[in-house]
Amino acid sequence: MSEQRKVTLLGTGLMGAPMARNLLAAGFPLTVWNRSAEKARPLADQGATVADTPAHAVAQADVIVTMLADGYATGALLEDPSFCDQLKPGAVWIDMSSAKPEHARAQSAQLETLGLRHLDAPVSGGTKGAEAGSLAIMVGGDEKVMREVLPILSAMGRPVHVGPSGAGQLCKLANQTIVAVTISAVAEATLLAEQGGADPAALRAALRGGFADSVILQQHGERMSNRDFVPGGLSKFQLKDLDNTLAEARGLGLELPNTQAVRDRFEYLINEMNGAELDHSALYLELRKRNGMS
């Protein structure tokens, strides 16, 4: 695929902005748009064209990357005839937002009627992964289409084809289930160590490389110890993903008890503790409150 193909990225928030910078660094001609324009403007200094509307952004784009809040936000774009009129037949739409598998399948079918190919390619790795270009990218859809846009995906992380349309979003839900349940375990281990008189930083050092080690233990355990909950992954998005996981599980006739319990704790953190805009490691604060601590 020629690097001169025009790429558009819609959504330049916490994740989208560093992803855009990596595309620019890889040499792709890039147009960006964001609902809050001030979040997109700094990318102009790095070579991006900043569009004032999503319709202007996608005009003549060969590849469209979306990094929006959810499938509803992506669907809202596709409900706008003036937007759809600007879509270029033959283009590839890569939705890297976290959404429901059913949304991915429906949007793939709709885009096919407009002559576009669709991949659902949600990511994991948070803002650090987005900045480093090391995101785990779970790709659903036609594997031949994925290979066509592999240089673009590889500029942002490590893409793996996981199945047909919707499979990328399904794997992202599985990822978010592991993340949320692991955050809850790390919070409990951190609180146990603190209250028992052990140094949580020393605990993390002792466990490094062992069976219990993980990125979540090292990164989010440090956040918990330092009470640093500046968002890398927002708690409100973690709750959204867990709700989507449980809805998908119900459709499959499955019960996921740990996921349900952690989901309810995130709901409490968000609704009762004003934690929606905190990093998802702030579940530690809910645990402290549960134990009568400030």
User: What stretch of H or E contains 81?
Assistant: helix 81-84
- What DSSP string describes 156-220? HEEEEEEESTTHHHHHHHHHHHHHHHHHHHHHHHHHHHHHHT--HHHHHHHHTTSTT--HIIIII
pLDDT in tens, 25-79: 999 999 999 999 999 999 999 999 999 999 999 999 999 999 998 889 999 999 9
Amino acid, single-letter form, for residue 124: S
* pTM given for the model: 0.86
Under DSSP, is residue 104 helix (H, G, I), strand (E, B) or coil? helix
Q: State the pLDDT at residue 135.
A: 98
Q: What is the pLDDT of residue 32?
A: 98
Q: What is the pLDDT of residue 232?
A: 86
240 is catalytic: no
Say which of 6, 100, 172, 240 is annotated catalytic.
172
| CA-closest candidate to residue 291, choices 192, 183, 180 | 192
For residue 99, the SS3 value is coil
Residue 56's contacts (CB-CB under 8 Å, 6 or more residues apart) are 33, 86
Taking the CA atoms of 83, 86, 89 and 92 in sequence, report the sign of the dihedral they define.
negative
